[in-house]
Amino acid sequence: MRCGSRGVDYWLGGGEDAGRWDPICILVLIVFGILVLTRRRCQWGAIFNHNSGLVVFYAYLVISTLWVEDMDNPFMKVFRPVGDALMALMVTTEKNPRAAILGMCRRGVILLIPMSVVLIRYFNDLGCLHAKHDGFDIWTGVTTHKNPLGQLCIVSTLVFIWHLMEARKNGRRLSREYMAWIYLIFTVYLFNGGGSADSRSSTAFLCLLISLGMFVALGRFRERPERVVSFIFRGGVALVVLSLVLQFFDTSLQALIAQTQGKDATLSDRTYIWQDVIRIGMQHPILGTGYGGFWVPSVYPKLSPVIDNHPMEAHNGYLETFANLGFVGCILLAWVIIQSIRSATKVMHENFEYGRLRLALLFMVLVMNYSEATFPVGNHLWWFCFLVVAIYAEPWIQGAAEQAIKSDPENEPGYKTETT
């Protein structure tokens, strides 16, 4: 809920989103998270070894604060992503991690989605960003902008569509799943963003379609999971070939997709920011400026005059990683991504639904980071979701095999995860 909404200080301080309560709240969660994890009967050595890419990436993340120059307390910047990793470990070390992931997401959106509707409809000053001149107000709901609201809607849509799929598989009548249908209506309403193309998140809607398409496509390999790797490889080759073909027609895949979403080829001036991030980032290309050391006051005079809105991110997760962590950070992030995809494809042989869930969300996050920066942003909804599906621990949890593979406790009466 914290990653999918604003900081705790915003809600306690009447609109001020800076203070001490948010870090205190996260610190309390971290302490309780450590207590829970120390009581888990897990083979921690095997878990860390299997997720070695993420362990090394996080170690480098913390070390990189040593060369941050223009920040008072750079170590506090890694406080949030470290908390994300601990919370993700709590979810993935449940006896049934797939049920825990879906249950966690469902409980979160059950509060945040209707609360967003209420704020937009009845507390406009809290739920919208008002247009400076003539135009549509931007719906934000419980989040900070239209893009985070769209990302929250992705979670809600996926959770309740998967809920309906489970209900159908278990023989329940879909017409009786009232809560799922009500929340899907709420989500469609929020996705619409008031009816204006400029006030809705095109990236979020596109990523939702990609995730659903990937989930459905992977379902074809239930009886032949060994063919998933070749399917992914062929898909990657097809994208490369399509991009090359479009070059002969003086266009690009980016421009084509932007046109279908009613956007210009610059993706709302994102390409100008990318050029500046690359130019400035090449001053520290190997190690970067250190985690959190790029978007500081001294960087804004170096930006091009066309960028006059003081951005706080590169609007591209890969460039954001390069700017803060350099080429070393990008290589380590690539290691994490490749290791996570390989792990998810292997899992499909023993636990097909869990592997399919992980792959669908992994590829959606990879696409999202082309125009949004969620790598590695602490307390960001989709960095946390990426960690939840990237970390794999199921075989090294005592008593997990018979409960996670043969059944789905989410549908059993009285089932309760420890994270509750």
Return the residue matching tokens 């050595």: 45
Cβ-proximal residues to 80 (8 Å cutoff; 6+ apart), any chain: 26, 378, 379
pLDDT by residue (tens digit) across 368-416? Answer: 999 899 999 999 999 999 999 999 999 998 755 444 444 444 444 344 4
The DSSP code sequence of 367-403 is: HHTTTS--TT-TT-HHHHHHHHHH---GGGBTTHHHH
**pLDDT of the residue at 113:** 96
- Mean pLDDT on 84-98: 94
Which residue pairs, CB below 8 angstroms and at least 24 apart, start in 187-190?
A: 187/113, 187/153, 187/156, 187/157, 187/160, 189/117, 190/113, 190/116, 190/117, 190/120, 190/139, 190/141, 190/149, 190/153
Q: How far is CA 244 from CA 50, 61, 296, in A?
A: 36, 35, 37
pLDDT by residue (tens digit) across 108-154? Answer: 999 999 999 999 999 988 888 876 555 678 899 999 888 999 999 99
**pLDDT of the residue at 416:** 47
- Mean pLDDT on 300-321: 90
Annotated domain spans of the chain: 8-13+43-408
H helix runs in 124-201, sequence order: 124-127, 146-169, 178-192
Q: Taking all residues of the chain, what is their mean pLDDT, rounded to a whole number?
A: 87
How many other CB atoms are found less than 10 A from the CB of residue 91? 22
The answer, as to whether pTM is greater than 0.75, is yes
pLDDT by residue (tens digit) across 350-363? Answer: 899 999 999 999 99
**pLDDT of the residue at 255:** 73
Confidence check: pLDDT of 194 > 70: yes
Strands 128-129 and 138-139 come out as antiparallel
**pLDDT of the residue at 419:** 42
DSSP 3-state helix, strand, coil percentages of the chain (rounded to 5)?
65, 0, 30
Q: Are residues 101 and 90 in contact, defined by beta-carbon separation less than 8 angstroms?
A: no
Residues 22-58, buried b or exposed e (16+ Cβ, 10 A)? Answer: bbebbeeebeebeeeeeebebeeeebeebbebbeebb
pLDDT by residue (tens digit) across 16-61? Answer: 556 788 888 999 999 999 999 999 999 999 999 999 999 999 999 9
**pLDDT of the residue at 75:** 75
Q: Are residues 65 and 78 in contact, defined by beta-carbon separation less than 8 angstroms?
A: yes
**pLDDT of the residue at 200:** 76
pLDDT by residue (tens digit) across 235-291? Answer: 888 888 888 887 777 777 777 777 766 677 777 788 899 999 999 999 999 999 999
- Mean pLDDT on 220-248: 87
